[in-house]
């Protein structure tokens, strides 16, 4: 999609591949967007080269990510325990949005969500499996497998809609549930392990690329389109091999090698030692 000209939330001229209005307009069209979470500059560039539509990043990445990807829609936010008060969260949101964020993620109360939304901030939250709240659910598990729980998901969505939430990550929800409720809300849904009914399909970079071996037992929704685990293992083995060789050569007083050392100009050593002896 051709980047649209706009001012970002910091009032700086900018361009974006998608705006908030674009994402809201996609609902019901059948078009699906891809979404992922690069953790560093290398992963970010890979996302860009692959054509990934939407990105979510950590707040400490924002400056670098904006320099590398000035036109990409980029969500940022805070963890549940990062701030104590609603005012602290609002200040964080205003700062991050002013520095180039396109939406702000929070897990805090409906009152906090509404406070942010009333200030014109595109608020993203989370439904279904929320790892932070796994204690309340008795551990990590799927959601919406019963009619009662499915209705609770719908009611939560509508409550979020009422307080002005713009988007949610819908994690590990029964596909039939997200399919049924998605068109009954204006909220943009990012499906993570919740089937193909979301407005965008989100997956972690590590899961997409197959960063972990099968022995690590990745979650059911983590489909690997690549196989980086053996390469990581090979890279680690090569790193240990090199470090071991360095360690052994240092202990044997062989390293640094002559070719790695700096030498004085011809005849200067003798002059220096003679001068030194006179001191």
**Residues 174 and 261 both lie in one domain:** no
**Residues 29 and 152 both lie in one domain:** yes
**Interatomic CA distance for residues 12 and 274, integer angstroms:** 66
**Residues 91 and 104 both lie in one domain:** yes
Supply the range of the domain harboring residue 13. Answer: 4-227
Phi-psi map region of 167: left, alpha, beta (phi>0 left; psi -120 to 50 alpha): beta
Cross-strand partners of 75:
56, 103
pLDDT of 198 > 80? The answer is yes
pLDDT, tens only, 124-161: 999 999 999 999 999 999 999 999 999 999 999 999 99
**Residues 148 and 264 both lie in one domain:** no
The predicted model gives 13-18 an average pLDDT of 97
**Residues 170 and 246 both lie in one domain:** no
CA 138 remoteness from chain centre: 26
The predicted model gives 198-216 an average pLDDT of 89
User: What pLDDT score does 216 carry?
Assistant: 65
The C-alpha torsion from 219 through 225 and 229 to 230, rounded to 10°, is: 140
Give start and end residues of each alpha helix (H) in 99-228: 110-118, 134-137, 147-162, 175-182, 205-208
**Contact (Cβ atoms closer than 8 angstroms) between residue 77 and residue 95:** no
pLDDT, tens only, 209-261: 999 866 667 778 889 999 999 999 999 999 999 999 999 999 999 999 999 99
Instruction: Give how many domains the chain has, as a whole number.
Output: 2
């Amino acid at each position: 999609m051709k980047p649209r000209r706009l001012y970002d939330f910091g009032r700086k001229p900018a361009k974006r591949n998608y705006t908030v209005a674009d994402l809201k307009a996609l609902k019901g069209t059948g078009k699906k967007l891809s979404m992922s979470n690069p953790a560093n500059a290398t992963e970010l560039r890979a996302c860009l080269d692959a054509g990934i539509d939407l990105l979510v990043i950590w707040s400490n990445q924002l400056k670098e990510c904006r320099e590398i990807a000035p036109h990409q829609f980029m969500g940022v936010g805070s963890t549940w325990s990062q701030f104590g008060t609603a005012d602290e969260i609002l200040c964080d949101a205003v700062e991050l949005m002013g520095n180039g964020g396109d939406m702000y993620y929070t897990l805090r109360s409906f009152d906090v969500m509404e406070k942010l939304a009333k200030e014109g901030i595109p608020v993203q939250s989370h439904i279904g499996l929320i790892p932070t709240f796994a204690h309340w659910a008795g551990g990590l598990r799927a959601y919406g497998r019963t009619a009662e729980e499915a209705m609770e998901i719908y009611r939560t969505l509508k409550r979020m809609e009422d307080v002005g939430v713009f988007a949610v990550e819908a994690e590990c929800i029964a596909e039939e549930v997200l399919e049924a409720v998605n068109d009954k809300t204006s909220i943009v849904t990012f499906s993570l392990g919740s089937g193909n009914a979301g407005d965008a399909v989100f997956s972690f970079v590590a899961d997409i690329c197959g960063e972990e071996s099968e022995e690590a037992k990745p979650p059911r929704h983590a489909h690997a389109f690549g196989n980086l685990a053996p390469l990581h293992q090979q890279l680690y083995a090569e790193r240990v091999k090199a470090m071991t060789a360095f360690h052994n050569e240092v202990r044997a007083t062989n390293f640094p090698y002559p070719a790695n050392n700096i030498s004085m100009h011809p005849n200067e050593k003798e002059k220096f030692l003679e001068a030194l002896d006179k001191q």
